[in-house]
Amino acid sequence: MSDSQKATAGEPLRVALLGCGVVGSSVARMLVEHADDLAARVGRPLELVGIAVRRAGRDRSDLPVDPSLFTTDADSLVTRADIVIEVIGGIEPAKGLIEKAMAHGASVVSANKALLAEAGPSLYASAALHGVDLYYEAAVAGAIPILRPIRESLAGDDVRKVLGIVNGTTNYVLDKMDTTGMGFAEAVEQAQALGYAEADPTADVEGFDAAAKAAILASLAFHTRVSSDQVHREGITEVSAADVQAAREMDCVVKLLAICERTEVAGPDGRPTPGVSVRVHPAMIPRSHPLGGVRDAFNAVFVEADAAGQLMFYGKGAGGDPTASAVLGDVVAVARHRVGGGHGPGESAYADLPVLSMGQALTRYHISLAVADRPGVLAQVATAFAAHDVSIETVRQKVVEGEDGSPTEASLVVVTHTAPDAALSATVEALAALDTVREVTSVMRVEGA
């Protein structure tokens, strides 16, 4: 018997797979095709003992697995496994099945961002109670290893900010609007035709998907429980061609960003109080910034830590094989724990920092105004900013000529310094009320500068 055979000669670890869609199919295929390598890495064979599906009779002959493994009885399947892989998505029945698996002593690997963002603390508690692992690298940014570096590699450091493009669909849409001049609807249709967007793209374009991922990232980075309903969320449906052009004029690009930041705000006594700001919204970001060059449906996460400095994680954020790669990385990790004894890290929420409102978040605004072309306009605009304690960084003015060649109005573009979002929002309302301002044509936050 060879050394490798001796190393994997123990009793197989039983693996149950919940779900056989795009990701589940890739996981099943890789478990079978890479069985020998996985066994050598774990120290024991991994035996696929069942695949829970909604319809057992569906043709899955393209998968190299025994047809008898497919079952609709997920409840029974999770009770006879050492490791359960959950890739069915949604809250229920996924949550109930995971809890049942843990109660029967199975470690769990999940790719379910919505579930982890909503019920992560209770699942962590169940894992601790039953002495099993809960891993979910694939829940954020597909194949990109980001959760484990934050949770483990940076455990001795203080993470200050996580800035990420964590939804490939919206990045593709905004990239096409920037590089080809496509409108929003046309870019979404192309994303759907290429398989980057679902038939109903609401979860992506309205920011729900990114908000769930932001909650997970913030919880890990700041040792604080953050749920998806605490994340300020704005989608990209209101991003216009004018917004994209305005960004281009500033040598910026529009991205849907997940922004998780540890910051300080004035407490009731006026002293600085630490808190966590977690938000998802479109923003202008300089093309020179590492995230500014992320194209097509790719994802990237930019991390700033005290000692490590700036770190960049980039790659494919979705798709069957990339996501399955992250799933199997977790499977190997939890399998090694079962073979060697011990467990991976559990929930770390000791900091328990308050989650700040969007109004308390510190950001910058890019504001475009259509104003009357007459003396005193700029002074009125500046007064509105000063009244809300918002400092102006730059002002650009362009006169728009009437049909007879006479100047009729001007376009005024203002970029602010950093200020609380509530003050910036109030400033925009004040500007809209000025008799010299005909229209606030565009408002967008600026990040990364």
Q: Catalytic residue numbers?
A: 213
Going by C-beta distance under 8 Å and a sequence separation of 6 or more, which residues neighbour residue 26?
320, 321, 323, 324
Instruction: Write the DSSP symbol of residue 349.
Output: -
Give the full edge-to-edge strand order of the sheet including 13-18: 70-71, 46-52, 13-18, 83-86, 107-110, 134-135
CB atoms within 10 A of CB 257: 25
- How far, in Å, CA of 86 to CA of 100, rounded? 12
* CB-based burial, 361-371: b 16+ in 10 Å, e otherwise: bbbbbbbbbeb
Unique residue bearing structure tokens 């002593």: 105
> What gap in Å lies between CA 323 and CA 193, rounded to an integer?
21
Q: How many CB atoms lie within 10 A of CB 417?
A: 12
Q: For residue 93, say if its preceding peptide bond is cis, omega within 30 degrees of 0.
A: yes
Measured CA to CA, the distance from residue 310 to residue 327 in angstroms comes to 26
Joined together, the tokens standing for residue 221 give 């980075």
CB-CB contact of 152 with 329 (8 Å): no
CA–CA distance, 101 with 208 (Å, rounded to integer): 28
The closest alpha carbon to 48, from 38, 60, 40, 57, belongs to 38
Q: CB within 8 A of 63, min separation 6: which ones?
A: 20, 25, 28, 29, 32
How far, in Å, CA of 313 to CA of 324, rounded? Answer: 18
User: Using CA atoms, how far apart are residues 50 and 83, in angstroms rounded to an integer?
Assistant: 11
Angstrom distance (rounded) from CA 119 to CA 108:
14
